[in-house]
Structure 1
């Protein structure tokens, strides 16, 4: 079964919403780390809001290595509505809309391929975490306090994380890699 890997920028006070508020210094170590994470992924899950925001930005963006990755990868959008803005490689998650997310994702998870990434879709990441569907967390914790905004673990049941690795960067960011114990 393919892994679902959630990658999030997170402030020191736990906020993941609106990263430009707390991500100020994207250094070379962070860039290399991102390249390593996305290098294992061939599919990305997006929520509807994330898709709508990103479909208007990334097709013409040049922030590498993410721009080339996200524009070329299969994008599966968890939504009940048709996609309004076209974007190469984007599709709506099929299946019975009343079925649990795990059931709807099963054909993708059970198909051959690389890791399945979740990037920038807070509500979707929270839903996947709450349902025990995330296998790994890749957190990029910046040395800034956002003060307000949605937090990744709001509404997520208590559970244990197993630290797979950590590394600090020259700008004080900490790269955290956790495996979730299910």
Structure 2
């Protein structure tokens, strides 16, 4: 069974939007190597519609870079309430029942599924117990405003969604990756 791994950048004040604005001063070889290790584990991506559309505007223009070539070639499974044609960047719609689509992907043969971007899709993934690992890249900066981490995720029966910190990876740049897994 494949694992579903999410990789998300977040500021100290919980902002996840526009990481290219506040995150780029911290991006270095150590950051790239960790990201490459996550990429190497996966043979397909799971993306929400907005993340898919944003990535599809940028990644194809970076052809020739080994990381970009791998990103462009990898199959992309897109969650969208409204459907759509995502084939222009090697994508396919998951269908009307996102949870069922993700369960089918996880049951199929292959490498891990890698998810980028935090948004509405996380409410489904966490609520349905489908997310296996959350690699939360905590950046030592404050954005002040923007979309917040895991907005809309429904709490568990006790009013919270509990996770276990299974690893901490500090980088010289100041980024710390927290690897979180569902608490049993």
* TM-score of the superposed pair, with normalisation by structure 2: 0.86
Deviations 1:17-59 (A, max 9, x none): 1112320220221111101111101111111111111112111
Equivalent pair of 2:102/2:130 in contact (CA under 8 Å): no
From 171, 174, 182, give the equivalent of 2:173.
171
Would you say the 8 A contact 1:4–1:118 is kept in 2? Answer: yes
Q: What is the rounded CA distance, in whole Å, between the counterparts of 1:129 and 1:64 in structure 2? A: 33
Instruction: Measure the CA separation in 2 of the matches of 1:34 and 1:125.
Output: 20
| Residue 15 of structure 1 pairs with residue 15 of structure 2 | yes
- Residue 110 (structure 2) pairs with residue 109 (structure 1): no
Q: CA distance change for structure 1 residues 173 and 102 in 2, over 3 Å: closer, same or farther?
A: same
Q: CA deviation at 1:179?
A: 1.3
Which SS does the other structure have where 1:58 is aligned?
A: helix
Q: Give, in whole Å, the separation in 2 of the partners of 1:43 and 1:90.
A: 10
CA distance in structure 2 between the aligned counterparts of 1:63 and 1:141, rounded to whole angstroms: 29
Question: Are the structure 2 counterparts of residues 164 and 111 from structure 1 closer, same or farther at C-alpha, using a change threshold of 3 Å?
Answer: same
- Would you say 1:161 and 2:158 are equivalent positions? no
Q: Which structure 2 segments of 5+ residues have no match?
A: none
Note the 1:25-104 alignment, pairs <5 A: 25-61=26-62, 66-79=67-80, 80-83=82-85, 86-87=88-89, 89-94=90-95, 97=96, 99=97, 101-104=98-101
Per-residue CA distance 1:146-181 (angstroms, 9 max, x = gap) = 111122222222222222211211111111111112
Q: 1:179 to 1:66 in 2, by over 3 A?
A: farther
Following TM superposition, by how much is the alpha carbon of 1:107 offset from its aligned partner in structure 2, in angstroms?
A: 1.7
* CA distance in 1 between partners of 2:138 and 2:99 (Å): 28
Q: In terms of mean alpha carbon deviation, does 138-147 or 17-26 score higher?
A: 17-26
- Matching residue of 2:127: 130
Structure number having the greater helix percentage: 2
Deviates further, 135-144 or 158-167:
158-167
SS in 2 for 1:46: strand
State the secondary structure of the residue aligned to 2:44. strand
